[in-house]
Amino acid sequence: MREAHTVERRVGMEYYVSDVDGVGGRLRVDVDDFRVRELERFDAEPLSSDPGAYGHLVLRVTLRGWDTNDFAARLSDALGISRERVSWAGTKDKRAVTTQLFTVRDADPERLPEVRDAEIEVLGRAGRDLGFGDLAGNAFEIRVREPDRPENADAITAQLRTFAGGDGEGGNEGGPIAVPNYFGQQRFGSMRPVTHEVGLRVVRGEWRGAVLAYVGNPAETEPDDTRDARAFVDEQASRDDPDWRAALRRMPGRLRYERSMLHRLADEGAETPDDFKRALEAVPSNLQRLFVNAAQSYAFNRILSERLRRGLPFDRPVEGDVVCFADRDAPDELVAPDADRLQRVTGRRVEVVAKHCERGRAFVTAPLVGTETELGEREPGEIECDVLADLGLDPSDFALPGNFESTGTRRAILLRTDLTVGRDPLAFSFALPSGSYATAVMREYLKAGPLDL
């Protein structure tokens, strides 16, 4: 087992499961190098259906180099409607060619605009908008440019097949590979991984520390003016009479969330923990939830890394594990878990459940801790409790105000997929369930820093 990149260890990803040197090279040199296609779980009625009953226009859109939120804003502006009337199931990478569904409420298909680098296909109508549950997963086609050691892909694939519970043999037809189902660097911030630090302080009730972790706390990877502004925030925070308005003037205009928090501190005061909580609530509700989600994700990554360190299996349970069962409605090309169907594994059931895991019918899980999270027992439960204790967290801590509250869930610890490796150029094709990260697979092959993934 090989130690992970320094930046990855900061967000709980402490190991690779393959020991072989990476193939090297670069990803996303061109947007065409990274292609993502949604595996859809959403049915559209014919376009001729009654708009009164089916008021949402369903679109399949292929984007080149578009941020999902930016495209939604461009589409709504062109239609002269509120951005809130545009919905989608999953946010995609900007540096990619992506194909995904959108719904637009009360839109006229005849008025759809032509948008640069976007192909818009009208599929029909629906009676509701899209939500996260409508995304089964994503299929990826990823090209590696200028690899240093392309021949190492075979040895890495063999080790990942062994991790999946196979024998590691058979080339492209040798069975599925598997990797730890880590939350990728994007979850925490690629250039400045701090969202989990903010979230940990939120969960501990350290509202002032949460704001400063986000607004201050400069990173070496940031532009000079951003680092200077964050350093000034930290300097003001250390004074008895901080000048938050001066800090606001220093903060670059592009950092609108930081500016929103500073605006609230400058306008409404910063004397009590509640003042800082209100400052944190100045950002959109989805970002408030993201802070807590990132703290949960960091703890999850830590639990997986400790399980790896102790040598516990990922492809089958040990006594005390909690498993979930397969999603019966997932597309054929996906091996997908259903975290709503959980079962604790007792001594008499270990071997039976292990056979279900071997056949892709069940998955060992770890907690995304929240107020209603069910923790494991015996050694798996010990790992979970030790990580939470080290982070100063308890499930009851997630009974938080407003958008910060989380009931928690459990998540599969193994990410299994059928993967094909192309040789000239070196390219990888695979599909993953929603919520899992392509970088969790590609990091094993490249052994590169997060910014190169």
CATH of the domain at 372: 3.30.2350.20
- Same domain, residue pair 297 and 381: yes
Long-range contacts at 105-109 (CB < 8 A, ≥ 24 apart): 105/55, 105/56, 105/57, 105/129, 106/51, 106/55, 106/81, 107/57, 107/79, 107/81, 109/47, 109/57
> Does residue 129 form part of some domain?
yes
pLDDT tens, per residue, the chain with 453 residues: 899 999 999 999 999 999 999 999 999 999 999 999 999 889 999 999 999 999 999 999 999 999 898 999 999 999 999 988 999 998 888 899 999 999 999 999 999 999 999 999 999 999 999 988 788 999 999 999 999 999 999 999 999 999 999 876 655 567 899 999 999 998 998 889 999 999 999 999 999 999 999 999 999 989 999 999 999 999 999 999 999 999 999 999 999 999 999 999 999 989 999 999 999 999 988 889 999 999 999 999 999 999 999 999 999 999 999 999 998 888 877 888 998 899 999 988 999 999 999 998 999 999 999 999 989 999 999 999 999 999 999 999 999 999 999 999 999 999 999 999 999 899 999 999 999 999 999 999 999 888 777
> Does residue 186 form part of some domain?
no
> Does residue 361 form part of some domain?
yes
Quote the CA–CA distance of 140 and 142 in Å, as a whole number: 6
The pLDDT of residue 169: 64
Our CA angle for 102, 106, 112, nearest 5°, is 60
- Same domain, residue pair 15 and 149: yes
> Does residue 187 form part of some domain?
no
CATH of the domain at 57: 3.30.70.3160
> Does residue 188 form part of some domain?
no
Q: Is the pTM of this model over 0.85?
A: yes
- Same domain, residue pair 312 and 441: no
- Same domain, residue pair 81 and 9: no
- Same domain, residue pair 291 and 250: no
- Same domain, residue pair 359 and 303: yes
The pLDDT of residue 170: 58
Quote the CA–CA distance of 335 and 313 in Å, as a whole number: 18
Q: Which are the catalytic amino acids? A: 93
Enclosing domain of residue 261: 195-283
Query: What are the Cα distances from residue 12, in Å, to 41, 85, 129?
Result: 32, 37, 35
Sequential DSSP letters for 207-272: HHHHHHHHHS---TTS-HHHHHHHHHHHHHHTSSS--HHHHHHHS-TT-HHHHHHHHHHHHH--SS
> Which of 220, 248, 283 is at the close of a domain?
283
> Does residue 102 form part of some domain?
yes
Amino acid at 148: D
CATH of the domain at 250: 1.10.1510.30
Which pair of tokens denotes residue 38?
């949604």
The pLDDT of residue 72: 92
Quote the CA–CA distance of 87 and 77 in Å, as a whole number: 14
Which pair of tokens denotes residue 238?
């250390």
Query: What are the Cα distances from residue 137, in Å, to 40, 93, 314, 359?
Result: 7, 14, 21, 20
Of 135, 147, 218, nearest in space to 446 by CA: 147
- Same domain, residue pair 208 and 278: yes
> What one-character DSSP code corresponds to residue 22?
P
> Does residue 69 form part of some domain?
yes
The pLDDT of residue 318: 97
The pLDDT of residue 357: 94
How many domains is the chain built from?
4
> Which of 283, 314, 338 is at the close of a domain?
283
**Where do we find the tokens 């708009």?**
51
- Same domain, residue pair 318 and 302: yes
> Does residue 270 form part of some domain?
yes
Of 424, 434, 430, 425, nearest in space to 444 by CA: 430
Amino acid at 115: V
Where does residue 210 fall: left (phi above 0), alpha (psi -120 to 50 degrees), or beta otherwise?
alpha
- Same domain, residue pair 441 and 315: no
- Same domain, residue pair 400 and 377: yes
**Where do we find the tokens 């982070």?**
391
Residue 83: half-sphere exposure toward Cβ, Cα within 13 Å: 7
Which pair of tokens denotes residue 215?
């607004």
- Same domain, residue pair 13 and 157: yes
- Same domain, residue pair 385 and 422: no
Where does residue 34 fall: left (phi above 0), alpha (psi -120 to 50 degrees), or beta otherwise?
beta
